[in-house]
Amino acid sequence: MRYLKEEDFKVTSRFLFLSMAIVVMEQDIKHIEQGAFKIKEPYLELLRKMEHVARLERKKLQSTMKQKKLQVIFLQKNDTFSTYLFLGNGYEEEKRYFNPAIRKKVQDLLYDLMNQVLPSPSFRKPTGT
């Protein structure tokens, strides 16, 4: 049963997955900087722009969450699932995510961010994945 309002859940879950996407981009930037890429700059520029857009959106979400007194808290993770606690309006809701589904959501977010920072959106999410 859903205790949080749909809008509040969307805000908190977007914040959660955007935070995960930022961590992925930070790690990718480090790997590219330390890697054996011949020409690193275009990849780094793209990732840094994506990270900047993601951080701006996350800051807005964080402000909304603070205003509405919403929180999302990591509880636990195992090989298959990750569990988070969503708090708001005096209610708490525990949500378990299938780890491959988290990966897919973060991947989709990365495609969305990529399309936001490129002059003409040309990257499409792969179909059937």
Question: Domain segments of the chain: what residues?
Answer: 6-117
Task: Give me the residues paired with residue 96 across strands.
Answer: 83
> pLDDT value at position 36?
87
Kindly report, residue by residue over 50-97, the tens digit of the pLDDT: 999 999 999 999 999 999 999 999 999 999 999 999 999 888 999 999
pLDDT exceeds cutoff 70 at 101: yes
Task: Give me the residues paired with residue 74 across strands.
Answer: 84
Any idea which residue has 């700059």 for tokens?
41
pTM assigned to the model: 0.88
Closest by Cα among 80, 78, 76, 65 to 13:
65
Local confidence band at 122 (pLDDT 50, 70, 90 cut-offs): low
For a pLDDT cut of 70, what percent of the chain falls above it? 91
